[in-house]
Structure 1
Amino acid sequence: MASPHIGIIGGGIAGATAALHFADLGLQVSIFEQGASLVDGPPICHLHAGGNLYREISQQQCVQLLKESIETVKLYKHTMNVRPTVIAVPTQDKGQPEDLLPRLQVIKQAYQSLVEQDASNQVLGDPQRYFKLYSQQELEALAQCDVPEVDSLTDQSLDEWMIPFAKSVDLNTLKFPVVLVQEYGLSVFRLSATVNLALAQLPNCQIYTNTQVIGVQPKDKQWVINYKSNNKHSTELPEAITVDYLINASGYQTGVVDDWVKAPRSRLVEFKAAYVTHWQEGNALWPEVIFHGERGTPQGMAQLTPYPDGYFQLHGMTEDITLFEDGIAHSTDESSQPKLPEYLVNKIIHGWSKEQQTIRTNKAIKHMAQFIPSFASATLGGKPLFGAQQIPGTDITLRAASVSFAGDNYARMEIVKASSALEAAQQIEQQMRECGFYDELHLTKQNISSQLTIEQVIEKACTLAEQRSYPTALAKVGGVK
């Protein structure tokens, strides 16, 4: 049979990964994105190779995130910031560090097993070093050591990663042991650069950026996608394209397409923001640091994500930092599309005022400084990274989710974490094969993204960061090379 034409609505991490996956196979792909470039969405920064940031999720979700993260790194090999993550439990928190240990052992064993099955799965360091525990006495001893020189490092021992933490954190605010785990960083700018560069090399993928999809209708066993350019000077009538298979990768607007195609689905949408700061004292090679806390309370989790040149991205899981008091919306019986308050939608469309940026960034700095006192000197480093994410169903804590189907030729990509995007695309491929959309024997995967050099990706990533008005440090390689 003829190769099917796949239409993808949404050019975020989900849609762009699907476009790359299917175009790499040689299938005809059209992807529609209302923004100026692909993958320009919520504040992706962490690989979640084990899910240890989230105490509330199941071990099953943790292992799923581990597997998906490994596959994501293998696809997007120039996007990882190689540095571990510290997980600390504050004294004010109800939880205990020991509660994390059974999960850590399960993930370590799962990682070991995956590496034994296929040596190429070893992308998170030695499985035997997946995590390490530190007592207060051990950290106090490390605090007396010199911080390793960043420029001279190609690798670091786990102990060396802990030196900046031990020197700067008020250890009296923590319970022990503290955990260091090989959960790495993910650069949204280098990921965006990879898909933009790779898809540009695939003539069978048509990319419609700055384009608004305004409707979808069924036509026989196909779909008609109606769209128009976002060019304000354009007076042209909307155009249309007919596709054989429709992938809804519209992110927080997934419900809009569901309503068009009359495929109801229950979901949540949550608006979140992370804050870009610059800390003059933070030029050491830092791990990522998570101070656990109860979500939505003033003691919510504090997350410090390091980048080169003293830049740090902050999350504070409180309602006046990363979360918003009315930032969660639910679908209804009348519509699959949850409706966020207008002021949050305006943030997504038009951005933030300088005053809003400053107020929330300063609150994020203060939240972090309760554990790292010298961080109080950090300053606003750029505009917030923000966006809305969909969560299928009604469980706000769900983190491992991929795809759902309605009929033979309509799929919704419902990822919550970036690392789930490839898994979702692979599940769609499997469903398409089962429904007879193409003969896999005639397809050869090109792996275009793996042919890109790190220099190409960094150059493009820095350009994208500048175009989006972010510091180029967020696009550069953090951690060790």
Structure 2
Amino acid sequence: MSTINDNKAKIAIIGGGVAGSSAALYFGQLGLNVTLFEKDASLVSGPPWCHLHAGGNLYREISDAQCVTLLKQSIDFLRFYPFVVDYRPTVIVLPITDSSTPEALLPRLELLTDEYKAYIDKDPENEVLGKAENYYQIYTKEDIKRLREKELAITPKTSDEWMMPVAQNIDLDKVQFPLIMVQEYGLNLFRLAAGAEMSLDALDSVTLHTNSIVYNVQQNVETEGWNISYVKGDVSHTESFDYLINAAGFRTGKIDDLLGAPCKSMVEFKAAYVSHWDGCNDTKFPEIVFHGERGTPQGMGQFTPYPGGYFQLHGMTKDITLYEDGLVANSLVSCQPRLGQDFMDKIEKSWTQEETEIRTKAAIEHLSQYIPSFNNATVGSKPLFGAQQIPGDDPTLRVAEVSFPREYYARCEIVKVSSVLDMIDAIVAQFVKLGYLNTTVLGQRTFAQPLELDDVSLSKRAQKIALDREYPAEMATRTVPKDS
């Protein structure tokens, strides 16, 4: 039975980040007539992300309810985008300077384990994070000392094998015990960019306009839809659509202004730093997260591994990832929060070599407090960076999806990439009400990929995207695939 009605609606999506690309792919699979506008040469080029928040264990400050939602959303995301996931665990560490204890994390981890079990009972295909009983494991100081004496595995398979490089490199006097290993995996934005492009290219129902800048949106008084004007190849075009999805990321407010839509939002500039560590001998590390109080000199540190000795680093301090005046809200006269010109120069032009060196070295120093041998790491490339929208006025918000401030208009508001499937579900419900889709799609998910993506071709395209953006090709490569 067809999922769409005979009156085939034309859907415009502005913005080819995770939200826009995923919506185009999903609705294209359902057979809707979709046009995706992206200003850059390739898709998914927004703020950096690297982590499947399958439980939100990086964020102690958020509620249990948000963590449970992140777990559910991550399972959905992993099933929809299996080619993006790097199947290695995350180790959570509390430094001795932290005011909390590892034991304080255990009730939430037990809750998440129970929720994961319930998802598997509901649908066995949801078992994508390993066995529920292995969702998290604890390692005492004695366990870590024992693993220090073991030979490293070339391709880690067990929890102990993943923990060995942590045990052999971490400063035992700087951290609290136990350490906690959790099945929150890595995500690769370059592989998503490549896979989304390959998938959309194969769909006859989707038109992809890259290098295209939308400069005006007006309501069509005859159809109640939208006339969208854009420039591509120095030529101006105008097309009419029935429905508009605003997935413009931190520039979402510009589209709101054109439509006169009500709004309340913030934008935060984000950066992560790329380092290269010759001394690791391409050891396969898990991701390591050192908890800390955001904005203080001991803010959270995130140590994310890639092949070839490359590591992506976050330090939630004002000298590293956080920026003075990097969080701004919209004003009474505009929905678009205004970042300072220095931030816009980074986004639209380039970083200075001096700032790249200073902040990357600060990130290396921050992580070296706990991994002393990492202190000889060097700058690996320019930072990963961008600006992230945050709907409302709560900068700690981690779960949001979409709103509908005008008729025939959806405003994507994802904060974490794994929220896109819930976002799509909400838009599907709108499309059913409007008669674009049949009711048979409600509550259903099309998890199958539109085509079998050849991993060799996908990897080559992902590596080319990384190089075109001036990042190491290794950052487009999985550390460990699922079946290794």
User: TM tier, shorter chain?
Assistant: over 0.9
Deviations 1:155-201 (A, max 9, x none): x1111111100110101111111110000000001111110000001
Per the TM alignment, residue 334 of structure 1 is displaced from its structure 2 partner at its CA by 1.5
Query: Counterpart amino acid of 1:473?
Result: E
Deviations 1:58-102 (A, max 9, x none): 111111111111111111111110010000111111121111111
Deviations 1:114-173 (A, max 9, x none): 1111111111111110001111121111111111123xx5xx111111110011010111
**2:355 aligns to what SS in structure 1?**
helix
CA contact (8 A) 1:402 1:415 kept: yes
Note closer, same or farther for the CA distance 1:446–1:203 as it changes in structure 2 (3 Å cut). farther
**1:300 aligns to what SS in structure 2?**
coil
Q: 2-side partners of 1:271 and 1:441: how far apart? A: 41
Query: Counterpart amino acid of 1:228?
Result: V
Q: Determine if the alignment matches structure 1 residue 354 to structure 2 residue 357.
A: no
Deviations 1:328-387 (A, max 9, x none): 010122111110001101100012122221111111000000110100011111111000
1:57-96 matches, cutoff 5 A: 57-96=62-101
2:227 to 206, 220, 224: 224
Note closer, same or farther for the CA distance 1:449–1:287 as it changes in structure 2 (3 Å cut). farther
Q: Determine if the alignment matches structure 1 residue 293 to structure 2 residue 298.
A: no
**1:171 aligns to what SS in structure 2?**
coil
CA contact (8 A) 1:275 1:384 kept: yes
Q: 2-side partners of 1:448 and 1:6: how far apart? A: 21
Q: Determine if the alignment matches structure 1 residue 26 to structure 2 residue 31.
A: yes
1:298-377 matches, cutoff 5 A: 298-377=297-376
Q: 2-side partners of 1:380 and 1:475: how far apart? A: 18
- Partner of residue 185, structure 1: 186
Q: Which moved more, 1:446-455 or 1:428-437?
A: 446-455
Q: Percent identity?
A: 47
Query: Counterpart amino acid of 1:371?
Result: Y
Query: Counterpart amino acid of 2:201?
Result: A
TM (norm. structure 1) is 0.95
- Root mean square deviation, CA, Å: 1.6
Q: 1-side partners of 2:49 and 2:459: how far apart? A: 17
1:122 to 92, 116, 127: 127
Q: Structure 2 regions of 5+ residues with no counterpart?
A: 1-5
Query: Counterpart amino acid of 1:330?
Result: A
Q: Determine if the alignment matches structure 1 residue 174 to structure 2 residue 175.
A: yes
Q: Determine if the alignment matches structure 1 residue 434 to structure 2 residue 433.
A: yes
- Partner of residue 249, structure 1: 247
Deviations 1:252-275 (A, max 9, x none): 011111111111211110001001
Q: 2-side partners of 1:192 and 1:422: how far apart? A: 17
**1:406 aligns to what SS in structure 2?**
strand
Matched residue pairs, number?
472
Per the TM alignment, residue 441 of structure 1 is displaced from its structure 2 partner at its CA by 5.6
Q: Which moved more, 1:325-334 or 1:449-458?
A: 449-458
Query: Counterpart amino acid of 1:405?
Result: F
**2:218 aligns to what SS in structure 1?**
strand
Q: 2-side partners of 1:70 and 1:389: how far apart? A: 23
Q: 2-side partners of 1:240 and 1:25: how far apart? A: 25
Q: 2-side partners of 1:447 and 1:456: how far apart? A: 19
Q: Determine if the alignment matches structure 1 residue 202 to structure 2 residue 203.
A: yes
**2:151 aligns to what SS in structure 1?**
coil
CA contact (8 A) 1:91 1:175 kept: yes
2:57 to 32, 49, 52: 52
Q: Structure 1 regions of 5+ residues with no counterpart?
A: none
- Partner of residue 391, structure 1: 390
1:258-269 matches, cutoff 5 A: 258-269=256-267
- Partner of residue 239, structure 1: 237
TM (norm. structure 2) is 0.95
- Partner of residue 270, structure 1: 268
**1:217 aligns to what SS in structure 2?**
strand
**2:406 aligns to what SS in structure 1?**
coil
Per the TM alignment, residue 446 of structure 1 is displaced from its structure 2 partner at its CA by 9.3
Per the TM alignment, residue 430 of structure 1 is displaced from its structure 2 partner at its CA by 1.2
Q: Determine if the alignment matches structure 1 residue 406 to structure 2 residue 405.
A: yes
CA contact (8 A) 1:39 1:192 kept: yes
Q: 2-side partners of 1:261 and 1:243: how far apart? A: 14
Per the TM alignment, residue 439 of structure 1 is displaced from its structure 2 partner at its CA by 3.0
Note closer, same or farther for the CA distance 1:228–1:331 as it changes in structure 2 (3 Å cut). same
Per the TM alignment, residue 402 of structure 1 is displaced from its structure 2 partner at its CA by 0.5
Q: 1-side partners of 2:386 and 2:90: how far apart? A: 24
Per the TM alignment, residue 456 of structure 1 is displaced from its structure 2 partner at its CA by 2.5
- Partner of residue 473, structure 1: 474
Q: 1-side partners of 2:414 and 2:65: how far apart? A: 16
Q: 1-side partners of 2:438 and 2:422: how far apart? A: 20
Q: 2-side partners of 1:79 and 1:139: how far apart? A: 31
